[in-house]
Structure 1
Amino acid sequence: MSKISFNNKVAVITGAAQGLGREYAKLLASLGAITIINDIATDEDGNPLANKVVNEIIKGGGHAIANTNNIACKEGITGLIKAVEESYGAIDILIHNAGVFVDKPFLQFEDRDWYDVINIHLNGSYHLLKAIIPLMRQRNYGRIIMITSSVGMYGMANHASYGAAKMGVYGLVQSLKLELEDTEIKCNLVSPLAATGQTSYALNKELHKQLDVEMVAPLVAYLASEECTHNGSTFVAGGGYFSSVGIFEGGGVYIPKEKLSIESIFGNISQITDLSMGVHISSTGQSAKKIFRKIFSGRRANKQ
């Protein structure tokens, strides 16, 4: 198997000054990518943490520049894209890793607890992709990796805004995969599990040791490579475990109009909620076809 290379590929990584984003940037840079380390975080003296990562990459023989634009707002994203365009003229890879979360019961939320999280995860995704995809279309090439979360897919108490934002990103990618399917631009999702500054508080020492951030980066790098042909897929990665996630729909029940009532729903609720005959649904069209097949077969059976 030949070694995957990122020579001269321009990669923008948001939230890249620490944690998972830092590992993504370091790995891509070690394989030849030109990495833009976007992060607003600073140390206790007010120095951008992005500069530290840039220095590490350069010392290792890689190529990186720091960028401190705030991608939670449209103006910050415009500044980021302009800086990259002026320096390199193209963007081949986007890894949108930046994020925040609020750990608080939903009924204790203040408006800012909702909007601060939505702005960076979901609205930031919108503005980033709206700016970057046209540049990728000009060259008919791009690799986009968006970060989702099990909190969005499965839920977690006290993280309502984070869960809503991350599932919003999931839905965004499901639409984009269809709009980009006739291009060489691939857009995928990763749900990482790793011991970072945001997750360490919830992990015991043994789990902390098992969930090294370095063990997520190879999957993200694969999705950023020319070799990746997946589009619209969702992956789970953590501690050496890798898997794919899909939405499944049960076999379903057909109830004719003349028999449809609240009571008939109650009487069929076990079958309605049964997922043992579930099938993977990858598009709205596929879901609609499945529904209509059930309706038409049910009507035929009802006439007999």
Structure 2
Amino acid sequence: MTITLDGQVALVTGAGTGLGRAHALALAERGARVVVNDIDAGPAAGSPGAGVVAEIEAAGGQAVLERCDVADADAVESMVARTVEAWGRVDILINNAGILRDKSFAKSDLADFRQVVDVHLMGSVHCSRAVWPHMVERGYGRILMTTSASGIYGNFGQANYGAAKAAVVGLMNVLAIEGRTRGIRVNALAPTAATRMTEDLLEPDELARLAPETVSPGAVFLVSPDAPTKTILAAGAGVFAVARMEESRGLHLPADRRTPEDIAAQWERISDMTESVVTGSAFEQTRRYLDLVQRDAEPTAARS
């Protein structure tokens, strides 16, 4: 199977450097026309984003530079409107723009916390909301969030970043459900790569192994026509793995044995993950719990 994106239009945020640049080049290589978004800082000529556009065009592809801050909802709406006016569609959105303001939680500044959430979470909200009606109208769309192991598992000094990155997984989960019947598939990429945000944390040989280009094949797959939906793909150094949220099977405690002490006494069974389940939605979880209660309420003879 060969994945082609001929004729499709892809918008990549934060595409001037690092992962965004690698994603933009990889999409263009597969035939997509690429909107290279980068923050507006200084003259456009000679900016990192302009360099990415030039690389794509030099290779025979089509690209345009759009400079705006994804935390600015109005600017994002205008960017998408210009894209649709120029190219008639938006098939792919990769929410990649991000910043770091690392500090331990006790020393963190609330203004920095809000800025990180504004860029990572609200930037993804603004861009997804702007392209959504166009994707609904055409009955096709692919949206990729960028989460992180810091959001899934935690990381010292990254309370703001981890909270924002966990939040985009929640956004992905809901949009995947709402988009399923409209031809819109929504996934998340959890990359570990050598970027400006990690260059001070790793040795040179490790940085070389973690080049952003080792992650981008996963991004292209997750926005391809046959992509899955509601999936978190972890990627780095050429390694790809699926991460997911799961629950233990669950244990129903009758009303007369439903104290904190009973939970403590049954903790081994409650936390046993040998029969874990993956839940499709919040209501599906509610239904499963009620079914478990109903099953326990049935007479033993009826279940045998």
Q: TM-score, normalised by structure 1?
A: 0.93
Q: Which runs of 5+ in 2 are unaligned?
A: none
Matches of 1:145 and 1:247 in 2, distance apart?
18
Residue in structure 2 matching 1:282, options 245, 258, 280: 280
Matches of 1:226 and 1:201 in 2, distance apart?
37
Distance change >3 Å, CA 226–CA 303, structure 1 → 2:
closer
* Residues 150-161 of structure 1 mapped to structure 2, 5 A cutoff: 150-161=149-160
**What amino acid maps onto 2:89 in structure 1?**
A
Greater CA deviation, 93-102 or 267-276?
267-276
1:48 aligns with 2:24: no
Distance change >3 Å, CA 77–CA 63, structure 1 → 2:
same
- Superposed CA offset, 1:228-264 (max 9, x none): 2x11111111111112121111122222111222221
Q: Report SS of the residue matched to 1:20.
A: helix
* Residues 81-100 of structure 1 mapped to structure 2, 5 A cutoff: 81-100=80-99
Kept after mapping to 1: 8 A contact 2:40/2:68:
no
Q: Which runs of 5+ in 1 are unaligned?
A: none
Structure 1 residue ranges (4+ consecutive) displaced by more than 6 angstroms after TM superposition: 43-46, 301-304
Distance change >3 Å, CA 288–CA 243, structure 1 → 2:
same
- Cα displacement (A) at 1:286: 2.8
Identical aligned residues as a percent: 32
Q: Report SS of the residue matched to 1:202.
A: coil
* Residues 23-172 of structure 1 mapped to structure 2, 5 A cutoff: 23-40=22-39, 42=41, 47-172=46-171
**What amino acid maps onto 2:69 in structure 1?**
N
- Cα displacement (A) at 1:301: 6.6
Matches of 1:139 and 1:63 in 2, distance apart?
22
What does residue 233 of structure 2 align with?
235
- Cα displacement (A) at 1:273: 2.2
Coordinate RMSD, CA, aligned: 2.1
Kept after mapping to 1: 8 A contact 2:44/2:50:
no
1:245 aligns with 2:258: no
Matches of 2:200 and 2:280 in 1, distance apart?
35
Q: TM-score, normalised by structure 2?
A: 0.93
Matches of 1:43 and 1:204 in 2, distance apart?
31
- Superposed CA offset, 1:183-238 (max 9, x none): 2211111111111111122222332222121111111112222232x111111111
Kept after mapping to 2: 8 A contact 1:189/1:233:
yes
Greater CA deviation, 16-25 or 216-225?
216-225
- Cα displacement (A) at 1:303: 11
Kept after mapping to 2: 8 A contact 1:36/1:66:
yes
Q: Report SS of the residue matched to 1:182.
A: helix
Matches of 1:185 and 1:154 in 2, distance apart?
28
Matches of 1:48 and 1:288 in 2, distance apart?
51
**Count of aligned residue pairs for this structure pair:** 302
What does residue 210 of structure 2 align with?
211
**What amino acid maps onto 1:66 in structure 2?**
L
